[in-house]
Copies of this chain bind each other. A is one copy, B any other.
Amino acid sequence: MDAEELRRLLEVLVSADVREFHLKTEAFDLQLLRGASGEPSAPLTSPLPPQERLPPGEPGASQEPSAQPGLVPVHAPIVGTFYTAPAPDQPPFVTVGERVKEGQVLCIIEAMKLMNEIEAEQAGVIREILAKNGDPVEFGQELFLIET
């Protein structure tokens, strides 16, 4: 086993997040231990009693990014009130399953009495609308998932 062979082996182990590895063949015996202290280190991250933690359903930039493959989230670029339609009596800008073009208006965020149109940055199909009409949304909150 040469260095190049070992390098390739390690790449595979790293990508699989293997921490301990032991391989014995006739030619060699390989043992290795990767990564920090071995311990999944995070006992210290929450200085708060459970009752103080953010309820999981609450809107927040803290939401885990929806990392489904092929789905691109649209984030709120400003803080304000989310509207799906230009006016209460009008149809929504977009609906789930609809194909949108780059630059097409997806919603309005009202901030400081100004209506800000939020446009699609990429073309694709609306797969999910994550905010409800009239919801307050914060900076960075996911509003739509678009399949590109």
Question: Which residue numbers of A lie inside 8 Å of B, CB to CB?
Answer: 1-3, 5-41, 44
**Most B-side CB within 10 Å, residue of A8, A17, A19:** A19
- Residues on the B chain within 8 Å of A18, using CB: 10, 32-34
**Which residue of the partner chain, among B3, B12, B28, contacts A25 with CB atoms under 8 Å?**
B28
Chain B residues within 8 Å of A36, by CB: 41
Would you call B22 and A30 a contact (CB within 8 A)? yes
| A35 to B36 Cα, complex, angstroms | 9
Contact A33 to B5, CB < 8 A, known contacts A27-B26, A38-B40: no
Closest B residue, CB atoms, query A19? B33
* Contact between A2 and B2, CB atoms less than 8 A apart: no
Whether the Cβ atoms of A8 and B1 lie closer than 8 Å is: no
How distant is A123 from chain B, measured CB to nearest CB, in Å?
39
CB of A144 to closest CB in B, whole Å: 37
**Known interface pairs A23-B30, A24-B30; 12 further A-B residue pairs with C-beta atoms within 8 A, sorted by A's residue number:** A1-B25, A3-B8, A3-B9, A3-B12, A7-B12, A10-B18, A17-B34, A18-B34, A22-B31, A25-B28, A36-B41, A38-B40
Is B35 a contact of A17 with CB atoms below 8 Å? Answer: yes
Q: Is the CB of B44 within 8 A of A44?
A: yes
Instruction: Specify which of B25, B32, B39, B44 is in contact with A22 (CB 8 Å cutoff).
Output: B32
A29 closest partner in B (C-beta): B24
